[in-house]
Structure 1
Amino acid sequence: MNQYHLWRIGLFGLMNHVVKTCTCGMLVMACLLINYSKATAQEHLDANLVQNALKQAANTEVAFIADVHLHDIYAAPATLAFGHGSQDVTSFDANTSGMSSQKSGSANQFPKDPETQAPLLMRSMQSQLTSTRLFNENYFAFRAALDDIADRGIKLVALPGDFSDDGQPANVKALARILDEYHTRYGMRFFAITGNHDPVRPFTRPGGKPDFLAAKGNEAAIYSPDHIRCINNRAWHCMDDIREWGYREIMQTLKNHGFSANTQDLLYETPFDSIEYEKRGWQWCDEASCIFMPDASYLVEPIKDVWLLAIDANVYIPKGQYADGNFKGSGNAGYNALLTYKPALLQWITTIVKRAKANNKRLIAFSHFPMADFYDNTQSQLESLFGKSSNQLKRMPLPTTTEALDETGLKLHMAGHMHLYDVAPPENPTGLVNIQVPSLAAYQPGYSVVTLLPDQHAKVETIIQREVEDFDRLFPIYYKEWQYRQRGGQTLWNKDILTSPHYLDFTEHHLKEVVRQRYVENEWPNALSTYIKNHTIGDVINQSPCPDLTKDLPVEITSQPALVLAYDYYKLRNAGAFADISGREKWYISGFNEDRLTGCSLPIANDLQRLLIGFLSLLHNAALAIDRTEVTVKGV
């Protein structure tokens, strides 16, 4: 049988690449024309197949919910209260000599749901207002987002990590129940991938926190029985469900939601040619021994021609000898460390991209960690102003890291981790686009939706979750906490947060308190922090070498507390175009531009002036770099 090697480059190219037959005269020309016709027909057929594949996948929508940090406020205490659980809770009483195991009565020491009187496993408001995320309200916000997604008719939902607060059994099992519920009710399918909070370390370990809330309004330490605080009788309660699960337990509990193959999937594979946990991982070796490091990455085709690539970008760097089993957390490692510790994963991603292109698949990648700059090229300013370890700059992908990821051929990556909305455009028109999906647990709360378009483009839209039913359900409990702190002379949070009319406003109050209590108080240079906390915006400008800037600013701006400048910066940085700063961004863009700041008439006289000028410039750049709320990505 004659064989033809056809390079689809026209008749003259074909003449050079016909192998066998076609040996003389008119027969040669006839043969060439016949085979050219075959090649042309094949080209049209392939083109039609591509177009049909694009059309079939077109208008497919995939929702991405990042950083849910689900905390089940209705966890163990409710079970204990009504005697349905077999789990012991051990409580520490400071007035007795030690610990006592209880199955009844202990639930009365927990706060009660104002409506049902069920005991609640809550974190304190103080702990929330010094953290980059909320804890308790996430339980309600997650369900609200899923309801909204269901109303939109979206059936595919991806969770790019930190779906639980710390991988605790109570929270992971609660997540599984919620996902099961929405799958049953709406036919929704969920695809989770791991984050640095799930798991906190690769293997199960003791866990707990010192800032849960007790019924009286005080903070209370709750840990797992194997934690040193329980062993030494220094915990208020000890509960098994507060452990920090490792990979095995999390993947097993969520096996129906991405971590294992499903009969509905057209394709499911891992980098290891196996879906068995024991084979899904890497062998890491030092001079003395080797360890198995799990990896949850997978590729799935939930509907025809749509590929979802879930990348486990966690890297738990060993501390000391590998055999010791001690690991650093993965929060600051990200893709910078992945290139060193998981090079084969990058090769697998490259192979997936090539296969997707060859088979006309629409490929969307997602993972917990960012693949590109998420601070709009202001890293050097942040380092100069606040220091190299500030603002979670250790999490910033190096330019060489982003370049290596771009070389895999990926076009669209949906990330979480930073609790902010950002779009990192590609270095070239057809390169990698990294989208930072906002967290439901921070300002502004939301999720993103990718819609596949028929022209090999994808539209990415971000939806803000303004309304959340029951977001204020716990307010009476928080007020009791505030009163307790006031009586005890403890640091007070701003109780105005308890007047929030909707969830979006609640997250804005949360951000303001984090800015006031954490960022400005602890992460800013002392001179800048002190001045900002005690002066007005007008004072800031007059104290800078650029007092003439006040000429363009209305008095309703210059008379406001200077802390407003800090609030506005973090709002713009975290929410981009979604940030509501009452139109002040136009003043920051026009009034604090580089020409005006560098052209000041007065020389910089002291370090405070340098810091003030640096911050005003940073604020200008944040206002200037506002990302669009909807973007189109090519080549997806």
Structure 2
Amino acid sequence: MNKKQLIPILFSAAFQLACSNSNLQAQSQSREIAFLSDVHLQDVYADLNSDEFKGVLNPKTGKFATIRTMKSQLNSTRLFNENYFSFISALEDLKTKGIKLVVLPGDFTDDGQPMNVLALKKILDQYSADSGMRFFLTTGNHDPVKPFGGIAGKSDFLGTYGGQQAIAGSKEVYPSTHTAISDQINYWGYPEITETLSAYGFFPSQKDIFWTHPFEEFDYDNYNFEQVQANSHLEKRVYASGENRLTLPDASYLVEPIDGVWLLALDGNVYTYSGSEWKGSSVGFNQAAFHKNHQLDWISKVTSEAKKRGKTLISFSHYPLVEFHDGASEEMKSLFGNQKFQLARVPHRETSNLYAAAGIQIHFAGHMHINDTGIFQDHRTKNTMYNIQVPSLAAFPPAYKTVKTTDVSNLEIETIPLTEVDHMNEFFDLYRMEHKWLFEKQDPGIWDSTILASQDYMEYTRNHLLELTKSRFIPSDWPENLAILLQNLSPQELINWGEMNETQGESFLQEKLKKLKASTKSTLPYHYLIDDFYLLKNGDELGKEMISEDRIRLYENIFYSLSQKSQGKEPSLNRELNQFFGIFEKLYHSNPSDHFAIDLKNNTIKKIED
């Protein structure tokens, strides 16, 4: 064979190898799924269809901004405005990475108003058409706030001159306030939301290999798209609820978007009928396990079929299925109280057991706006379930998660922080106008304007959390004396206290507290301790990276000292401080939550070092 004959053969072999590598890369990308939770999308440039209020003219864009006040944002566990841009940034990041499958585990809008649902649809339509992305949604408590919608409003939009502007569907919502009327601010219910977003998981698509719901006979082998489509109408997907046995929709579904991967969307919303209207709940599966127990039989069927057919089954819902405080929830209830720290939302062990017994092994959830990995194992059945908490794009830490499936039981999960967000400061001049207005009115709710010096989105959400901790969390959730001590004890005083016995420690703390209360100083020189607590509670490994090395050494020193002595059982300041550091230590020594691998067959989890 001469050189001229060899060249075409080599070229053909090289071309086939390149095609093979390309196909492998495409296959790898197609088996990677992104989870973007708690977007809380609000249309920041909405058409309100209102003659009374169009929004606030933003000189930067020349458009009318329909945004909430900074005062309102700093009293909420979520942002209302900048998260619009963080959502776009996340989608652009996925576009660059070539990730095509995207799950939104609830609270994809901020209260399910027409303006926000339509804004979401417009964005999803764009990325579906331009980038070939497929989106799969499930409902959260902020999507259908009420199952069949209703008249609603918000009183905290930013007004023309910096004050608040109320907007509602009726004057009756805010009868004593100047209210702009707009039907775009009313609640939509299940029928309107699922119909508008029908292309995004709630109903079957010809693009999918398989799709079904809890009220349909499970028949994978004889799957007929036309028949499934006919049986997917919302009125055929209802269950009886409450004493009156009134019917409510259940938007749960199972979909196989790519060969071998099943996505199980669980609608965990629970509503109760009170008087003449429906009311929603944010508790999650502690109530859903009772009110929607029809789901458990269906889940058992799905997990059995997945195992029989060798499918990787990934469950997702807005609500968690496993305790998400690294095993510290009971200690938190003891120290802070059952109704503090949203502890009512923590799944009971009995609840986790029901869903683990039904066969769920891995579950992605939102709702709590935290980064966490929870593991539940039933000691009787040995069933193990992993609960992956996806952070919110509207709070600290702003991040999404990806999961790669390499085979039926091995998963690689990575957390992607959103540090840089384009247009993050687009409304900052409008907030300055608001701040000036509050200052001139001597409004007691004036906020710390240093948040407007934030250099990136991560810093911005962290500053939001710091302000929220100071103005809302500490006053509402913390024992007053404990909060005072934690913000005023120096590192050396904490080290000394850690080496004292119970009697000495109590005497020291009582004397310290007495001096602090007698002092006229209002500074809190060591407020970082509570701030670091929230970094860990909300950010887990992402938050831990932000704690300085000297404070890390301080905490580890205290953990060691407390491990060497017993804790008293009688109520005292000394016991409260011991309890606090016991909780802190559990949050500190958490399961991997940043980048890690899970082997569902052998029930192992392993941190991946980048």
Shift of 1:224: 1.6
> 1:102-251 counterparts in 2 under 5 A?
106-107=53-54, 110-225=55-170, 228-230=172-174, 232=175, 234-251=177-194
Tell me: CA distance 1:441–1:546, structure 2 relative to 1, closer, same or farther (3 Å).
Answer: farther
2:465 is equivalent to residue 499 of structure 1 = no
Specify the SS of the correspondent of 1:482: helix
Q: How far did residue 409 of structure 1 move?
A: 1.4
Indicate the residue corresponding to 1:49 in structure 2.
none
Q: 1:609 to 1:201 in 2, by over 3 A?
A: same
Q: Deviations over 1:88-118 (max 9, x none)?
A: 44x4xxxxxxxxxxxxxx43xx322232221
Q: Distance in 2 between matches of 1:583 and 1:134?
A: 30
2:305 counterpart residue number: 355
SS in structure 2 at match of 1:66:
coil
- CA displacement at 1:247 relative to structure 2: 0.7
Structure 2 CA distance for aligned equivalents of residues 128 and 88 of structure 1:
24
In structure 2, the partner of 1:473 is: 426
- Does residue 75 (structure 1) correspond to residue 79 (structure 2)? The answer is no
SS at match of 1:228: coil
Residue 594 of structure 1: how far off its partner (Å): 6.4
Q: What is the aligned partner in structure 2 of residue 269 from structure 1?
A: 212
Seen in structure 2, the aligned counterparts of structure 1 residues 258 and 375 have a Cα distance that, compared at 3 Å, is: same
User: Would the alpha carbon gap of residues 536 and 113 (structure 1) be closer, same or farther in structure 2, given more than 3 Å must change?
Assistant: farther
Q: Is the 8 A contact 1:155 1:189 kept in 2?
A: yes
**2:322·2:374 contact (CA, 8 Å) conserved in 1?**
yes
Is 2:464 the counterpart of 1:510? yes
Q: CA deviation at 1:407?
A: 0.9
**Aligned 1:399-478 pairs, distance under 5 A:** 399-427=349-377, 431-454=384-407, 456-478=409-431
Q: Counterparts of 2:147 and 2:235 in 1: how far apart (Å)?
A: 13
Unmatched tracts of structure 1, length 5 or more: 1-54, 78-86, 92-105, 551-558
The aligned amino acid for 1:67 is D
CA distance in 1, matches of 2:41, 2:63: 19
Quick one: distance in 2 between partners of 1:630 and 1:129?
30
Structure 1 residues 240-299: Cα deviation after superposition (integer angstroms, max 9, x where no partner) = 11111111111011001111111211111111222101111102352xx43111110011
Which range is displaced more, 481-490 or 165-174? 481-490
Show the counterpart of 1:317: 272
Deviations 1:326-363 (A, max 9, x none): 3332212x111111111111110111111111122221
The residue that corresponds to 1:295 in the other structure is: 250
CA distance in 1, matches of 2:101, 2:279: 33
Once the two structures are TM-superposed, the CA of residue 604 in structure 1 deviates from its matched residue by 10
In the alignment, which residue of structure 2 is the partner of 1:369?
319
SS at structure 1 position matched to 2:273: coil
Aligned to 2:481: 527
The alignment partner of 1:611 has SS state of helix
Confirm whether residue 621 of structure 1 aligns to residue 598 of structure 2. no
Contact (CA 8 Å) 1:166, 1:200: kept in 2 or not?
A: yes
Distance in 1 between the 2:569 and 2:194 partners? Answer: 57
Question: Following TM superposition, by how much is the alpha carbon of 1:519 offset from its aligned partner in structure 2, in angstroms?
Answer: 0.6
Aligned residues: 538
Task: Give distance in 2, aligned partners of 1:585 and 1:313.
Answer: 40
Contact 1:540–1:612 (8 Å) recurs in 2: no
Cα distance in 2 for residues equivalent to 1:400 and 1:453: 32
- Distance verdict in 2 for CA 1:494–1:304, change over 3 Å: same
Which residue does the alignment assign to 1:9?
A: none
Partners of 2:278 and 2:496 in 1: how far apart? 50
Deviation at 1:611, TM superposition (A): 3.0
In 1, Cα distance between equivalents of 2:426 and 2:118: 23
Question: Secondary structure at 2:145's aligned position in 1?
Answer: coil
Task: Select the structure of larger CA radius of gyration.
Answer: 1
Q: CA 1:468–1:57 in structure 2 vs 1: closer, same or farther (change >3 Å)?
A: closer
- TM-score scaled by structure 2? 0.83
Query: Any residues of structure 2 matched to 1:247-262 within 5 Å, and which?
Result: 247-262=190-205
Distance 1:527 1:537 in 2: 18
CA contact (8 A) 2:487 2:528 kept: no
| Aligned pairs for 1:551-630 within 5 A | 561-579=525-543, 580-584=546-550, 586-593=552-559, 595-596=561-562, 599=565, 607-625=572-590, 627-630=592-595
Aligned to 1:23: none
Q: Identify if the C-alpha distance between structure 1 residues 285 and 560 changes in structure 2 by more than 3 Å, giving closer, same or farther.
A: closer
What RMSD over aligned residues (CA atoms) do the two structures have, in Å?
Answer: 2.7
Distance in 2, Cα, partners of 1:263 & 1:507: 40
- Structure 1 residues 539 and 485: alpha-carbon distance in aligned structure 2, compared to 1, 3 A threshold: farther
CA contact (8 A) 2:43 2:119 kept: yes
Instruction: Report the residue type matching 2:200 in the other structure.
Output: H
Secondary structure of the corresponding residue to residue 471 of structure 1: coil
1:141 is displaced (CA, Å) by: 0.3
Partner amino acid for 2:214?
P
Q: 2:272 aligns to what SS in structure 1? A: coil
> Taking structure 1 as reference, are residues 427 and 493 closer, same or farther at Cα in structure 2, changes over 3 Å only?
same
Q: Cα distance 1:594–1:267, how it changes in 2: closer, same or farther (>3 A)?
A: same
Letter in 1 for 2:110: D
Q: Is the CA contact 2:110–2:142 (under 8 Å) kept in the aligned structure 1?
A: yes
In the aligned structure 2, how far is the partner of 1:352 from the partner of 1:160? 19
Check conservation: 1:155, 1:187, Cα contact below 8 A. Answer: yes
With normalisation by structure 1, the TM-score equals 0.79
- 8 Å contact kept, 1:569–1:619: yes
Residues 485 and 492 in structure 1, CA contact (< 8 A), matched pair in contact too: yes
In 1, the alpha carbon distance for the partners of 2:570 and 2:287 equals 42
What is aligned with 1:387?
337
In structure 2, relative to structure 1, the CA distance for the partners of 1:201 and 1:528 (3 Å cut) is: same
1:5 alignment counterpart: none
Deviations 1:388-415 (A, max 9, x none): 1000000010001111111111221110
Q: CA deviation at 1:560?
A: 7.9
The answer to whether the 8 Å contact 1:420/1:437 transfers is yes
Higher mean displacement: 586-595 or 565-574 = 586-595
Question: Structure 2 vs 1, CA of residues 57 and 149 (structure 1 numbering), >3 Å: closer, same or farther?
Answer: closer
SS of 1:328's partner is: strand
CA distance in 2, matches of 1:569, 1:354: 41
Separation in structure 2 between the aligned mates of residue 57 and residue 187 of structure 1, nearest angstrom: 16
**Equivalent position SS for 2:540:** helix
Match 2:34 to one of 63, 77, 91: 63
Letter in 2 for 1:567: D
Of 467, 484, 489, the match for 2:442:
489
Q: Give yes or no for the alignment of 1:307 onto 2:262.
A: yes
Task: Tell me how far 1:618 sits from its aligned partner.
Answer: 2.5
In 1: Cα distance, 2:137 partner to 2:564 partner: 48
SS of 1:229's partner is coil
Structure 1 residue 534: Cα displacement: 5.9
Q: Give the conservation status (yes or no) of the 8 Å contact 1:300–1:308.
A: yes
User: For the Cα contact (< 8 Å) 2:491–2:554, is it kept in 1?
Assistant: no
